[in-house]
Amino acid sequence: MPIGAADSRGPAWRTAALPSLALLGAVLPLAFIPQLEDLLYYLRPAELVPAYGTAWLMLAALALPLWLIATLLLGVLGSTAALRRARSGLAIALAGIAAAITLAALVYCLLVWVQTFGWLRGVGLRGALLWTVLVLGFIAGCTAHGRHTLLRLRPLLIGCLAAGALCAIAVPLSGWGHG
């Protein structure tokens, strides 16, 4: 069931959540994993959970207002028949954003992994490469197949988001930040 056909007519909050799901469920874990070795130089292994939880809380604080704005905008655009086409376009754009940032995180992880073998040491995911990946991801996410793939990834993204929320709960329980 493609987002453009069915999900854009579904609940606005669900459609608006795609970029936030991608950010908290894909980008954060994929960006955190390559940094584990560096983090272990100054953190104990038990401190990785509250560190991840802290990063999750910071990104959630950024994602929540954007999700609320997108939800309100989708709700307003779905209120009249004349604006339904704009709502569908916004739903497709939100899927494109989610696909773009997820693809950028995947390329970053792949690049870090390849660099562990000594290859592509001088290549970084910034500048022209970053913009190329983001544009290609956006275009792919705007296609029917890309939106369908995002819908199929949604349970995995929700699971990763829930794991991050559990890590966020561990922040106050672990005494993180109290010495």
* CA distances (Å), origin 164, targets 56, 57, 65: 6, 9, 18
Radius of gyration of the chain (CA): 18
Kindly indicate the confidence band of residue 104, based on its pLDDT and cuts at 50, 70 and 90: very high
55 with 32: CB under 8 angstroms?
yes
How many Cβ atoms are within 10 Å of 167's Cβ, its own excluded?
22
Check pLDDT > 90 for residue 10. no
Kindly indicate the confidence band of residue 57, based on its pLDDT and cuts at 50, 70 and 90: very high
18 with 12: CB under 8 angstroms?
no
Its pTM stands at 0.88
Domain edges within the chain: 7-167
What kind and span of H or E run contains 80? none
Distance CA 116, CA 166 (A): 30
- Average pLDDT for the chain: 90
Among 5-19, 89-103, 121-135, top mean pLDDT goes to 89-103
Q: What is the model's pLDDT at position 7?
A: 54
Distance CA 39, CA 160 (A): 20
Kindly indicate the confidence band of residue 1, based on its pLDDT and cuts at 50, 70 and 90: very low
Q: What is the model's pLDDT at position 81?
A: 83
Q: What is the model's pLDDT at position 5?
A: 45
Check pLDDT > 70 for residue 122. yes
3-state helix, strand, coil in the chain (%, to 5): 80, 0, 20
26 with 108: CB under 8 angstroms?
no
Q: What is the model's pLDDT at position 179?
A: 55
In the chain, % of residues over pLDDT 70:
92
150 with 142: CB under 8 angstroms?
no
Least confident stretch, 48-52, 118-122, 140-144, 145-149 = 118-122
Tokens of 1: 């069931």
